[in-house]
């Protein structure tokens, strides 16, 4: 199944009114990441998250999401972090290094850290593919990242009961 035909079930989303979220957004490709942010905020708020419960911070590029997420988690003020970035393939191997570095490091943070870190980094071949996924014909992936964050906080809290 293509990932493009997959979507999360939106009918039974946990209440997010007591949840606190960190959203870290890259300046690189900010025409795309700002749209991902819009989608993320829309869904967090639609499901009850208050304005005051969402901390938004910016970092230069996707590589800096690693440090940003680790530091935000260390401060312990949020229940989940959503990392929003967009890496577009260029003419050099830089794309591969950034993508694998960010993916591995965010995975490590999920394994070793105390809160879920949602990988909201689009990795695409062209700017057009990014636009399609940031409010274009394939929807806004920021919405999926928000739903995922809510579901993972609910998961974590269910284990604490
Ligand atoms: C350097 C770079 C390049 C070429 N492309 C992107 C990109 O498409 N998306 C992105 O988020 N960041 C890019 N960067 C910047 C790196 O993520 C990082 O900011 C620098 O390598 C400095 O650590």
Say which CATH number the domain at 120 has: 3.40.50.960
Whether 7 is in a domain gets the answer no
Beta bridge partners of 88: 124
Residue where the block lists tokens 């993320």: 40
Ligand 1, atom 18: closest residue by C-alpha: 61
Whether 2 is in a domain gets the answer no
Cα-to-centroid distance, 83 and ligand 1 (Å)? 14
Whether 56 is in a domain gets the answer yes
Eight-class DSSP state of 100: H
Lining residues, ligand 1, CB within 6 Å: 26, 28-29, 60-64, 85-88, 90, 94, 98
Ligand 1 atom closest to 94 (CA): 4
Whether 12 is in a domain gets the answer no
Verdict on whether the full-model pTM lies above 0.75: yes
Cα-to-centroid distance, 28 and ligand 1 (Å)? 7
Ligand 1, atom 23: closest residue by C-alpha: 63
Whether 8 is in a domain gets the answer no
- Confirm if 145 and 8 have CB atoms less than 8 A apart: no
Mutation to probe ligand 1, out of 25, 27, 28 (largest number of atoms < 8 A from CB): 28
122: domain range? Answer: 17-160
Q: What is the pLDDT, as a whole number, of residue 6? A: 58
Please name the helix (run of DSSP H) or strand (run of DSSP E) that holds residue 24, with its range, or none: strand 21-26
pLDDT in tens, 5-37: 457 788 889 999 999 999 999 999 999 999 999
Whether 94 is in a domain gets the answer yes
Ligand 1, atom 13: closest residue by C-alpha: 61
The pLDDT averaged over each successive group of 10 residues in the chain (161 residues) is 60 95 98 98 98 98 98 97 96 91 98 97 97 98 98 96 80
Based on the structure, what is the number of domains in the chain? 1
Whether 111 is in a domain gets the answer yes
Whether 89 is in a domain gets the answer yes
Q: What is the pLDDT, as a whole number, of residue 9? A: 81
């Amino acid at each position: 199944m293509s990932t493009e035909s997959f979507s999360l079930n939106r009918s039974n989303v946990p209440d997010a009114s007591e949840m606190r979220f960190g959203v870290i957004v890259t300046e690189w490709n900010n025409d795309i990441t700002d749209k991902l942010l819009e989608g993320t905020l829309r869904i967090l708020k639609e499901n009850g998250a208050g304005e005051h419960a969402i901390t938004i911070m910016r970092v230069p590029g996707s590589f800096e999401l690693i440090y940003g997420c680790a530091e935000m988690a260390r401060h312990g003020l949020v229940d989940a972090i959503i990392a929003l970035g967009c890496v577009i393939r260029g003419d050099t191997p830089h794309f591969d290094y950034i993508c694998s570095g960010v993916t591995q490091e965010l995975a490590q943070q999920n394994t070793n850290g105390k809160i879920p870190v949602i990988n909201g980094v689009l990795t695409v071949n062209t700017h057009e593919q990014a636009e399609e996924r940031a409010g274009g014909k394939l929807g806004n992936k920021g919405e999926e990242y928000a739903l995922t964050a809510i579901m993972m906080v609910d998961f974590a809290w269910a284990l604490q009961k």
